């Protein structure tokens, strides 16, 4: 069990059963397994998306697939800029409503893609890496005729935001690396898990309690921060395990776990060319301790060259601050983005 927990700390958000937090931190009181959850589509047809999804047909490793995205118009007077939100590994774009609404009220157009393998996008059995995700993301912007965007990447999306900024620098105005994972390169601490073993482990993780325990790591700093939104997303993930298509999604998740292991972005930060905010909840404990997380976030801010890196951590909040207290997250996020507006 100790080796399993260490492996999870290094790969961070690979979706595997975690019965308890390390040293008992953040354990939620047990709840009955809900009897009303029905099998859910692995393309998230029933997921609670706040705005309609559109689709772009693309090719990935010669497979015809489609990438889903929300494109939300600004409210009131447009400010002429686009913000793009990149989701984390245990989510699709459906959990960003608070941030979407906060940014559109400030005049931003907001684009929220579901990466291939997530949300309403296709689930091909293929290699996964951040270069391909960045390329797919660029295709969405090109399709929408968006030349530049301000990019906010949460969790795994923070890793993708860094890669996108280095692969497609002309398409990025500024970026926010928001409670990212992938803050260290763990490849030299342990071998990569065999894909067959990773698939078997994922495939057999189908009970509600394990699903809930995995997501509850996000409130390890304060179990009282767990709320109905977290519970709703637990139900969503659990519904996928009841689907006849769960074996496909389990393999996709195993492949993505390998991506998180073998495609670190810690070497990308020094090549980012735009203003960058290392941002989020200061008490994020996915790296083991909040202090470890804070140190690595400060390292990002120092590493972005030419004085373009900035650090802002919000005390008392964990890995998904906009699901805890969105009113604390939006003002500093908006302030950083609006600093990039030109008249």
Q: Which pLDDT belongs to residue 342?
A: 76
CB 314 within 8 A of CB 330: no
b vs e for 210-223, b when ≥16 Cβ sit within 10 Å of the residue's Cβ? bbbbbbbbbbbbee
HEC profile of 307-340: CCEEEEEECCCCCCHHHHCHHHHHHHHHHHHHCC
Is the pTM for the entire model greater than 0.85? yes
Note whether residue 256 is domain-resident: yes
Q: Which pLDDT belongs to residue 340?
A: 93
Burial of residue 55 (number of CB atoms within 10 Å: 0-12, 13-18, 19+): middle
Shortest CA distance to 68 belongs to which of 87, 83, 40, 82? 87
Q: Which pLDDT belongs to residue 13?
A: 39
Tell me how far apart the alpha carbons of residues 308 and 328 are, in angstroms, rounded to a whole number: 24
Note whether residue 34 is domain-resident: yes
Distances (CA, A) of 196 to 160, 161, 252, 258: 26, 29, 12, 11
Note whether residue 343 is domain-resident: no
Entry field: residues in the chain: 343
Q: How many domains does the chain have?
A: 1
User: Which segments in the chain show pLDDT lower than 50?
Assistant: 1-26
CATH of the domain at 204: 3.40.50.1820
Domain that holds residue 176: 2-338
CA torsion through residues 73, 76, 82, 85, sign: negative
Note whether residue 163 is domain-resident: yes
Q: Which two tokens stand for residue 308?
A: 């373009």
């Amino acid at each position: 069990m100790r080796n399993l927990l260490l492996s999870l700390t290094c790969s961070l958000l690979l979706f595997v059963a975690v019965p308890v937090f390390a040293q008992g931190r953040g354990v939620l009181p047990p709840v009955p397994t809900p009897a009303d959850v029905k099998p859910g589509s692995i393309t998230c047809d029933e997921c609670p998306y706040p705005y309609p999804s559109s689709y772009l047909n693309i090719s990935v490793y010669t497979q015809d697939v489609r990438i889903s995205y929300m494109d939300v118009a600004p409210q009131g007077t447009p400010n002429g800029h686009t913000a793009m939100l990149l989701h984390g590994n245990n989510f699709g774009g459906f959990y960003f409503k608070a941030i979407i609404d906060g940014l559109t009220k400030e005049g931003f157009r907001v684009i929220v893609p579901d990466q291939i393998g997530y949300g309403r996008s296709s689930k091909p059995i293929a290699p996964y890496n951040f270069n391909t995700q960045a390329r797919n993301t660029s295709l969405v912007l090109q399709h929408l005729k968006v030349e530049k965007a301000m990019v906010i990447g949460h969790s795994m999306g923070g890793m993708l935001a860094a890669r996108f900024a280095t692969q497609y620098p002309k398409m990025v105005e500024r970026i926010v690396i928001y409670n990212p994972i992938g803050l260290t390169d763990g490849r030299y601490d342990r071998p990569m898990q065999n894909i067959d073993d990773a698939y078997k482990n994922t495939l057999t993780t189908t009970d509600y309690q394990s699903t809930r325990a995995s997501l509850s790591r996000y409130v390890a700093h304060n179990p009282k921060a767990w709320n109905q939104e977290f519970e709703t997303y637990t139900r969503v993930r659990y519904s996928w395990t009841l689907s006849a298509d769960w074996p496909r999604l389990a393999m996709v998740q195993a492949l993505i776990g390998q991506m998180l292991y073998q495609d670190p972005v810690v070497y990308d930060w020094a090549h980012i060319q735009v203003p960058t905010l290392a941002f989020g909840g200061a008490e994020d404990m996915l790296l083991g301790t909040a202090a470890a997380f804070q140190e690595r976030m400060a390292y990002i801010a120092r590493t972005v060259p030419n004085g373009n890196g900035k650090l802002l951590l919000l005390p008392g909040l964990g890995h998904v601050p906009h699901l805890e207290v969105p009113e604390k997250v939006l003002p500093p996020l908006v302030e950083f983005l609006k600093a990039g507006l030109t008249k």
